[in-house]
Amino acid sequence: MFNIGMFPYTMLATTTLFYSLDWPKRIMSKAGIINETLDENKQFLISKLSEHCIYNKAKSEDKKGKSSKSTFYHKFFTFFTLFYISEQIFLPYSHFITKGYNNWTNGLYGYSWDMMVHSWHTQHIKIHFIDKKTNQTHYLNPKAWTTRRRWSSHGDMMYQYAKCIEERLGEYGFKEIELYFDIWRSMNHRFNQRQVDPRVDMTKVEWSPFKEVKWLVPLMTDLSDWRSKLKKIEDHYTKNKTDFDLTFVADLNGLKLENFVSPFLNSTIEVLNGKVQVETEGKKGKRFNTTLKVGDKFYLPSGTYHTVYTISDQPSCFFYIYLNESAIVLSDWFDNFSKNMLQTYNKTFEALKITKEIKDESELLWKAYNKTLIINSKSFYEMIAKNESNPKQDLKQDIINIVNYLSEKKLNKTLVYHSFVNQFYTNFNDKMVKAKFGFFYKNYRKSVFLRENFSKLINTELFLDY
């Protein structure tokens, strides 16, 4: 579910607190490291009195014990223990001192009491740098020199990673650069917003454990009340349909958001607060600007970039509505195929005058049709992947052609059934099938169902013209 680091090991170590208090002595005694004896009740291992412990005066039948007094050793460790406990109590409230470690949640990470309380969602991380010598802009993979995203959540780690990138790029000949981070994140189902100012050159920033990090963008707490509204908007679109995807965004005056819309998506932007200007790209590189206010919607062209500028004094709030038409057609295709497959499966029993009580034959027939679905769904996904690498191919038209072909094509049910059964009986006689159906299910399925000739038979019968 999530990475919890050293937490399991800490819990395993602290489990020993519930063991018998003399368990270390028992282990060392068995290992021969110490020579201990059991007490009078034969429950605990005991040794000679320690000079570092304070004992009360004790009496026994044969001797009297002397009480011991506290020394500097006892006082020092008593003070140290109290100091350590006080420190642990104070650290979660130390964010007014350790300002450099504060972000949207104040306090030292790892010393707070709000672990796993907040819900974080990282929408986007973009890193780019400008080569001052050539004035060219280059983009970096955020995971170029790290496999984790934790650095993007804390100012001190951003500072360290910026220095790391600057040093590594220097090894590739980029000695003079400007480095910029653009990190979008949502906390506790709020709007997605920037966590760092994208206009700040990260190679020039300063950081101190005791100074506020000026280049971090504070959390827009005044928009927290919007969370219930966002939930209602999302439910309105996704309650009965799973093909919609919504992304809520909040941005500050003077900043811009660059975004790319996939060619397979129908995308719309709607403004909830403030005012924005949307810049889109038309044919021959011509650009168009459209101003949107609260309640306005704008259809975004697919397959191109667009830029959203916040032009109001107050923060702008808007959301994207993504509709995957390819996914809708794909879903319809599977629904139609499954429905047709089940109908032909039932009609085959009627045509061949067999009953479903014959378990091996009915199972065999169902597997035949089910394998048909698996084979062609795989080829369908391969077609989508091929389309993504070749934008000139008309994916939508290909899907429509397949759906129309499915509705027109009539399966030769008897041919499918007998072709498969004949292959089965080539290797196993009828008596063995009925006696050892389990053997067939576990072993023969691997040999027959995956045989290329049968797969071709089913595939040809369904998609003869494709």
- Return the pLDDT at 423: 46
User: To which residue do tokens 């679109």 refer?
Assistant: 237
User: 157-199: per-residue pLDDT in tens?
Assistant: 999 999 999 999 999 999 999 999 999 999 999 999 999 999 9
Q: Work out the mean pLDDT of the chain and round it to a whole number.
A: 74
pLDDT of residue 312: 95
CB-count burial class (<10 Å; 0-12, 13-18, 19+) for 405? middle
pLDDT at 443: 38
Sign of CA dihedral 238, 241, 245, 251: negative
For the chain, state the CA radius of gyration.
35
Residues of the chain with CATH 2.60.120.10: 239-323
Higher pLDDT: 314 or 112? It is 314
What pLDDT, on a 0 to 100 scale, did the predictor assign at position 447? 35
Sequence letter at residue 146: T
More confident residue, 61 or 248: 248
CB contact at 8 A, 108 and 98: yes
How far apart are the C-alpha atoms of 128 and 183, rounded to whole Å? 12
Two tokens, residue 132: 């001052």
pLDDT above 80 for 248 = yes
Q: Buried (b) or exposed (e) across 219-248, using 16+ Cβ within 10 A?
A: bbeebeebeeebeebbeebeeeeebebebb
Banded pLDDT at 242 (limits 50, 70, 90):
low
pLDDT for position 79: 95
Q: Which of 90-104, 323-337, 356-370 has the highest mean pLDDT?
A: 90-104
**Alpha carbon 130 to chain centroid, angstroms:** 31
Mean pLDDT across 351-358? 51
pLDDT of amino acid 113:
60
Residue 450 has pLDDT above 60, yes or no: no
**Alpha-carbon distance 45 to 175, whole Å?**
67
Q: For residue range 113-157, list pLDDT tens digits in order.
A: 666 678 889 998 999 999 999 999 999 999 999 988 889 989 999
Q: What percent of the chain shows pLDDT beyond 70?
A: 58
Higher-scoring residue by pLDDT: 86, 239: 86
Residue 384 pLDDT more than 90?
A: no
The pLDDT score that the predictor gives to residue 331 is 62
Burial annotation 133-143 (CB, 10 A radius, 16+ → b, else e): eeeeeeeeebe
Most confident of 9-23, 222-236, 399-413: 222-236
**Does residue 428 have a pLDDT over 60?**
no
Helix (H) or strand (E) holding 51: none
Query: What is the pLDDT averaged over residues 356-363?
Result: 50
C-beta of residue 428 within 8 angstroms of C-beta of residue 444:
yes
pLDDT of residue 412: 41
Confidence of residue 436 (pLDDT cuts 50, 70, 90): very low
pLDDT (tens digit, 9 = 90+) per residue, 387-413? Answer: 555 555 554 555 555 444 444 443 444
Which among 431, 464, 465, 437 has a CA at the least distance from the CA of 367? 437
Residue 117: predicted pLDDT? 77
* Integer Cα distance of 125 and 307 in angstroms: 17
Quick one: pLDDT at residue 225? 93
Domain 239-323: which CATH number of 3.40.640.10, 3.90.1170.50, 2.60.120.10, 3.40.50.720: 2.60.120.10
Q: With b meaning 16 or more CB within 10 Å and e meaning fewer, what string describes 161-196? A: bbeebbeebeeeebeebebbbbbbbbbeebbbbbbb
- Selection from 117, 109, 174, 111 nearest residue 140 by Cα: 174
Residue 371: predicted pLDDT? 54
pLDDT of residue 424: 46
Please tell me the distance from the alpha carbon of residue 450 to that of residue 445, in angstroms, as a whole number: 8
- pLDDT(208) > 90: yes
Could you tell me if 269 and 319 are in contact, meaning their C-beta atoms sit under 8 angstroms apart?
A: yes
181 bridge partner residues: 127
Least confident of 37-51, 255-269, 359-373: 359-373
> In what helix (H) or strand (E) does residue 179 lie, and over which residues does it extend?
strand 177-187
Helix/strand/coil for 419: helix
Report the C-alpha gap between 99 and 93 in whole angstroms: 11
Q: Mention every residue, 6+ apart, whose C-beta is less than 8 A from residue 439.
A: none
Burial of 250 (0-12, 13-18, 19+ CB in 10 A): buried
Name the band, by pLDDT with cuts 50, 70 and 90, for residue 421.
Answer: very low
Closest CA to 125 of 182, 192, 180: 182
pLDDT 10s digits, 255-307? 999 998 887 788 999 999 999 999 998 877 788 999 999 999 999 998 889 99
Give the pLDDT confidence score for residue 169 in this predicted structure. 95
Mean pLDDT along residues 43-63: 57
Edge to edge, the sheet with strand 305-310 lists: 256-260, 305-310, 276-281, 287-292
pLDDT at residue 213, rounded to an integer = 94
Contact 130, 177 (CB under 8 A): yes
pTM: 0.65
